[in-house]
Amino acid sequence: MKIERKTQESNEISTSSLPDIIFMLLIFFMVTTVMREFDGLDVLMPRAKMIEKLESKRHTSYVWATKDKLISVDDRLTRVDGLGAIMASKISRDPKLTVSLKSDQKAKMDLIMDIHTQLRKANALKLSYAAMTKAD
């Protein structure tokens, strides 16, 4: 009885475990990724009797204003006179953009009026005011 040996070797790489490895990597990155929203500035929001939720956060740019006249646009500090240029570039990229103004309840009205003027110059006419619900 003669036994024959197989001398041919396969050059293929086994890919049977590849979907498992990709799935494990996907789960790892989904668990370890931190989704954060804008931090903004230290602002004590005013109270309101009725508030409505924005339709979409995708087309929203946040402007924070403090009582110390600090202004932040999407987590970047800016001056009031530079706000118009920033918002004009944002509006040109996204015409559906809604500006959400989050101001401190002790912010002076002249600061709010300056922000309104800059937004009008940038043609950012869709404006919403952020507030907290009134605590009973």
> What CATH number is attached to the domain comprising 81?
3.30.420
pLDDT for position 38: 59
pLDDT for position 102: 87
One digit per residue, pLDDT tens: the chain, 136 residues?
A: 677 776 777 777 778 888 999 999 999 998 888 776 656 676 766 677 666 776 777 888 888 888 888 898 888 888 888 888 999 999 999 888 889 888 888 888 899 999 999 999 888 888 888 777 665 4
Which H/E stretch holds residue 62?
Answer: strand 60-65
Q: Does the residue 5 lie in any domain?
A: no
Q: Does the residue 74 lie in any domain?
A: yes
Measured CA to CA, the distance from residue 74 to residue 69 in angstroms comes to 16
Instruction: Count up the domains in the chain and report the number.
Output: 1
pLDDT for position 93: 92
Q: Does the residue 92 lie in any domain?
A: yes
Give exposure, 97-126, as e/b (b: 16+ Cβ within 10 Å).
bbbbbbbbeebeeebeebbeebbeebebee
**Full residue range of the structural domain in which residue 52 is found:** 47-133
pLDDT for position 33: 83
Q: Does the residue 95 lie in any domain?
A: yes
User: With contact defined as beta carbons under 8 Å apart, do 37 and 61 qualify?
Assistant: no
Helical residues (DSSP H) of the chain, grouped into ranges: 18-32, 83-93, 109-121
pLDDT for position 136: 42
Q: Does the residue 73 lie in any domain?
A: yes
